[in-house]
């Protein structure tokens, strides 16, 4: 009964802002921002939001469906709780919606005459959209049914790509056209580049950031040592202690790991970072990034630091049934590929041998327009609004 009540309440609020918009004039000086289905304060939309608030006279608000996040940030930023009348009135009045994943970061139902700007959340290694050859959408039957009667905005008016190369991938995957694209550096990468010269302490910090796997339960991560456990944790902790180093374990937000969080309390050289936290500050502080198939290394590469790749399930992950990849992983990644944790730690603590030609190639793919920062993106949005007036 409680579950049904929650679902009904959620659907009522999903529709409320849309219907209220019938009674309000669109305000192009009111911009709303959100990320990851309204659950987080992170990603490119976070850093564009902060740039707009700092430098522009635009009425800007962050929208969240996460009550804990709302209370944590209330008073620090202009944040609104989605399940409130005040937020629904803002949704009804806003002229601009800026997201990292899709329109549901703010509200699933938005009038088509509003401007939706999707900044996206990462550059794919694995295939996405129509390139996967399968439908992986999350929309419910009720959502799809309502969409037949509610003339809501479907896709973005503007979509951010940091390079011509990835524009072509996004264009094919999502069936977008050239006019929809903003070609500029990701706001979070611009912020990362600005922070790369911040002074650090003498202790070596390793950041381990694995991505999620489609259609597996949490046991898969332990069985394949993607998440270390037992004797492996003992070995890692010992080697880190000898090297005066710390390992930060930051799983993907879609990986639920309450068990490992409890297990790590006894290891002084290994720290767990909650999956919902923004990875940005940890990228800045890390001397070495350890990852698998996550596109986070595309962001980190701008810092010019060491990257180690841990791929214990490479054969499984790269098979065509699991979406497939855009690249030959073993030839593509700019770092050593390890298949066990002992190799990972030894490589991470060893000498940094840079592949400068591959790094240069990567930067062209991932940050082709470093001079086009947040201000460039904001101006493109303003210009687009001028066209729509």
The reply to whether 358 and 381 lie within a common domain is no
16-40 confidence digits (pLDDT tens): 999 999 999 999 999 999 999 999 9
Yes or no: say if 142 and 11 are a contact pair by the CB < 8 Å rule. Answer: yes
The reply to whether 248 and 377 lie within a common domain is no
The reply to whether 320 and 215 lie within a common domain is yes
Question: Which CA distances in Å does 279 have to 207, 299, 300?
Answer: 10, 11, 11
The reply to whether 269 and 140 lie within a common domain is no
The reply to whether 135 and 37 lie within a common domain is yes
Strand partners, 64: 81
Burial class for 363, CB neighbours closer than 10 Å (0-12, 13-18, 19+): middle
What pLDDT does residue 134 have? 54
Across 279-303, average pLDDT: 94
Distance, in Å, from the CA atom of 333 to the CA atom of 337, rounded to the nearest integer, reads: 8
| Confidence label for 326 from pLDDT (cuts 50, 70 and 90) | very high
Q: Does 114 have pLDDT greater than 90?
A: yes
Q: Does 288 have pLDDT greater than 80?
A: yes
Q: Give the structural domain span for 199.
A: 193-367
What pLDDT does residue 91 have? 98
Q: Does 149 have pLDDT greater than 80?
A: no
The reply to whether 129 and 33 lie within a common domain is yes
70-108 confidence digits (pLDDT tens): 999 999 999 999 999 999 999 999 999 999 999 999 999
Across 349-353, average pLDDT: 80
- Looking at the 3D structure of the chain, how many domains does it have? 2
Q: Is the pTM of this model over 0.85?
A: yes
Burial class for 369, CB neighbours closer than 10 Å (0-12, 13-18, 19+): middle
Lowest-pLDDT choice from 224-233, 305-314, 346-355: 346-355
What pLDDT does residue 281 have? 86
The reply to whether 226 and 150 lie within a common domain is no
What pLDDT does residue 365 have? 92
The reply to whether 241 and 101 lie within a common domain is no
CATH number, domain at 227? 3.40.50.12580
| Confidence label for 266 from pLDDT (cuts 50, 70 and 90) | confident
What pLDDT does residue 336 have? 92
CATH number, domain at 14? 3.40.50.11820
Give the largest Cα separation in the chain, rounded. 66
What pLDDT does residue 165 have? 97
Lowest-pLDDT choice from 2-11, 50-59, 233-242, 338-347: 2-11
SS (H, E, C) the chain: CHHHHHHHHHHHHHHHHHHHHHHCCCEEEEEEECCHHHCCCCHHHHHHHHHHHHHCCCEEEEEECCHHHHHHHECCECEEECCCHHHHHHHHHEEEEEECCCHHHCCCCCECCCEEEECCCCCCCECCHHHHCCCCCCCCHHHHHHHCCCCECCCCCEEEECCHHHHHHHHHHHCCCHHHEEECCCHHHHHHHHHCCCCCCCCEEEEEECCCCCCCCHHHHHHCCCCCCCHHHHHHHHHHHHCCEEEEECCCCCCCCHHHHHHHHHCCCEEECCCCCCCHHHHHHCCEEEECCCCHHHHHHHHCCEEEEECCCHHHHHCCCCCCECCCHHHHCCCCEECCHHHHHHHHHCCCCCCHHHHHHHHHHHCCCCCCCHHHHHHHHHHHHHHHC
| Structure tokens given for 264 | 């790590």
What pLDDT does residue 154 have? 82
Q: Does 271 have pLDDT greater than 70?
A: yes
Q: Does 137 have pLDDT greater than 90?
A: no
The reply to whether 357 and 373 lie within a common domain is no
Give the neighbor-by-neighbor strand order of the sheet with 306-310: 270-272, 245-249, 204-209, 288-291, 306-310, 337-338
The reply to whether 142 and 227 lie within a common domain is no
Task: Dihedral sign for Cα 286, 360, 172, 152, please.
Answer: positive
Distance, in Å, from the CA atom of 110 to the CA atom of 155, rounded to the nearest integer, reads: 11
The reply to whether 172 and 266 lie within a common domain is no
What pLDDT does residue 151 have? 74
Residue bearing the bigger pLDDT, 112 or 356: 112
**Cβ–Cβ contacts within 10 Å for residue 99, how many?**
27
What pLDDT does residue 11 have? 85
What pLDDT does residue 121 have? 94
| Structure tokens given for 364 | 């062209």
What pLDDT does residue 372 have? 97
Q: Does 346 have pLDDT greater than 90?
A: yes
The reply to whether 230 and 330 lie within a common domain is yes
Residue bearing the bigger pLDDT, 196 or 289: 289
């Amino acid at each position: 009964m409680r579950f049904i009540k929650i679902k009904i309440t959620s659907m009522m609020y999903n529709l409320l802002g849309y219907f209220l918009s019938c009674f309000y004039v669109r305000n192009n000086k009111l911009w709303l921002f959100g990320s990851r289905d309204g659950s987080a304060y992170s990603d490119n939309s976070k850093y564009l939001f902060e740039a707009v608030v700092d430098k522009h006279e635009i009425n800007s608000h962050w929208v969240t469906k996460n009550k804990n996040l709302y209370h944590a940030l209330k008073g620090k930023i202009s944040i609104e709780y989605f399940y409130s009348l005040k937020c629904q009135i803002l949704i009804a009045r806003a002229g601009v919606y800026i997201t990292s994943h899709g329109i549901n970061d703010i509200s699933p139902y938005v009038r088509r005459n509003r401007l939706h700007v999707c900044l996206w959340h990462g550059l794919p290694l694995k295939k996405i959209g129509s390139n996967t050859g399968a439908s992986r959408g999350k929309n419910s039957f009720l959502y799809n049914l309502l969409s037949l009667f509610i003339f809501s905005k479907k896709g973005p008016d503007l979509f951010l790509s940091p390079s011509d190369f990835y524009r072509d991938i996004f264009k094919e995957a999502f069936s977008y056209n050239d006019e929809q694209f903003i070609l500029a550096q990701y706001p979070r990468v611009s912020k990362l580049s600005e922070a790369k010269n911040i002074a650090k302490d003498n202790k070596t910090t390793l950041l381990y950031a694995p991505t999620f796997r489609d259609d597996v339960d949490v046991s898969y991560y332990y069985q394949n040592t993607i998440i270390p456990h037992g004797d492996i944790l003992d070995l890692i902790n010992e080697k880190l202690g000898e090297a005066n180093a710390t390992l930060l374990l930051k799983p993907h937000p879609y990986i639920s790991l309450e068990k490992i969080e409890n297990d790590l309390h006894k290891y002084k050289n290994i720290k767990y970072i909650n999956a919902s936290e923004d990875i940005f500050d940890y990228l800045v502080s890390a001397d070495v990034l350890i990852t698998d198939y996550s596109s986070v290394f595309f962001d980190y590469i701008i810092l010019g630091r060491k990257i180690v790749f841990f791929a214990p399930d490479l054969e499984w992950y790269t098979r065509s049934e699991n979406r497939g990849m855009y690249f030959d992983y073993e030839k593509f990644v700019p770092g050593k590929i390890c298949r066990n944790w002992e190799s990972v730690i030894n490589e991470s603590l060893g000498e940094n041998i840079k592949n400068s030609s591959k790094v240069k190639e990567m930067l062209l793919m991932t940050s082709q327009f470093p001079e086009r920062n947040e201000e460039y993106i904001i101006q493109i949005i303003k210009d687009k609004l001028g066209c729509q007036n």
